[in-house]
Amino acid sequence: MRKKLIAGNWKMNKLNADVPAFFRSFVKECSLEKDRSLTQKVDVLFSTPFLLLESARNQASGLGITIAAQNVHFERDGAFTGEVSVPMLTEVGIYSSLVGHSERRQYFGETDVAVAKKAAVLQAHGCQAIVCVGETLRERQDNRTESVIAGQLAPVFEAVRGLDNIVIAYEPVWAIGTGVSATSAQAQEVHTFIRKQAALRFADDANSLRILYGGSANPKNIAELLAKPDIDGALVGGASLKPLDFAAMVRAALA
């Protein structure tokens, strides 16, 4: 049985000043002060900008909520101006990061090979890597969804040592921030494909790989998405900025 993971991606939003109020409201809405059973049943994660990691970690402390980075560099130190390494994250108690989000690929030129290295380095440090993959609208229209995703996954599956601490997030680029989610059937189809790709390399271990859906997931469509057998959670952008909406999505994962 794969434990569901509901992950928020704050992208470049919020200030440190906003963090305490956000968590107060989220924790209250999930009744987490009295009862931690929600985070025992569902994994909850917030991926925040680097400068918000410590305040988010402090707020989340003891509640069973994971705080993650949105990106990391694959080298441990050196002349890489503007970058942050895995040891820098672990030093401040952060053991998870997104890698290869489509915005990183699109606006910052991140390649499949760099994404694979980041995933492998996180794993080697005992950290979780949430590896994002997904096709553009054009690629889908050209019937290239599977070949694009296979191409993004191949170097990752080559670079990592097994699937421990690896999560895949399927995020069709055309669904991100557009209000147009993939249908649950479209997502399930791609998730099945991703699991098959994982099985080609890791055999039965692919059965325990968590595959999240991301792209305009919201409190209204989450239940239908999570009802699909290969959708093991969600990576949520816009709706994760609102504590009540995100709490509703976490609760939906209990069903």
Give the interface with ligand PGA as residue ranges (CB under 6 A): 9, 171, 176-177, 214-217, 235-238
CA distance 52 to 15: 7
Residue whose beta carbon is closest to ligand PGA: 237
CA distance 146 to 193: 7
Considering the complex, what minimum distance in angstroms separates the CB of residue 140 from ligand PGA?
16
**Residue among 86 and 98 whose Cβ is closer to ligand PGA:** 98
Considering the complex, what minimum distance in angstroms separates the CB of residue 240 from ligand PGA?
7
**Residue among 42 and 182 whose Cβ is closer to ligand PGA:** 182
Considering the complex, what minimum distance in angstroms separates the CB of residue 4 from ligand PGA?
16
Q: Are 155 and 196 in contact (CB under 8 A)?
A: no
CA distance 252 to 224: 10
Selecting among 103, 135, 171, 191, the annotated active-site residue is 171
Count CA atoms closer than 13 A to 194's CA, side-chain side: 34
**Residue among 1 and 13 whose Cβ is closer to ligand PGA:** 13
Considering the complex, what minimum distance in angstroms separates the CB of residue 153 from ligand PGA?
18
Annotation says 29 is catalytic = no
**Residue among 53 and 236 whose Cβ is closer to ligand PGA:** 236
Q: Which of 154, 148, 134, 99 is nearest to 217 (CA)?
A: 134
Classified as helix, coil or strand, 210 is strand
Annotation says 171 is catalytic = yes
φ and ψ at residue 147, rounded to 5 degrees? -70, -35
Which stretches within 50-144 are classed as H helix? 53-60, 86-91, 102-108, 112-124, 137-141
Selecting among 73, 101, 103, 191, the annotated active-site residue is 101
**Residue among 214 and 233 whose Cβ is closer to ligand PGA:** 214
Other C-beta atoms lying within 10 Å of the C-beta of residue 139: 18
Considering the complex, what minimum distance in angstroms separates the CB of residue 99 from ligand PGA?
12
Q: Which of 185, 117, 207 is nearest to 156 (CA)?
A: 117
- Structure-token pair, residue 41: 């049943």
List active site positions.
Answer: 101, 171
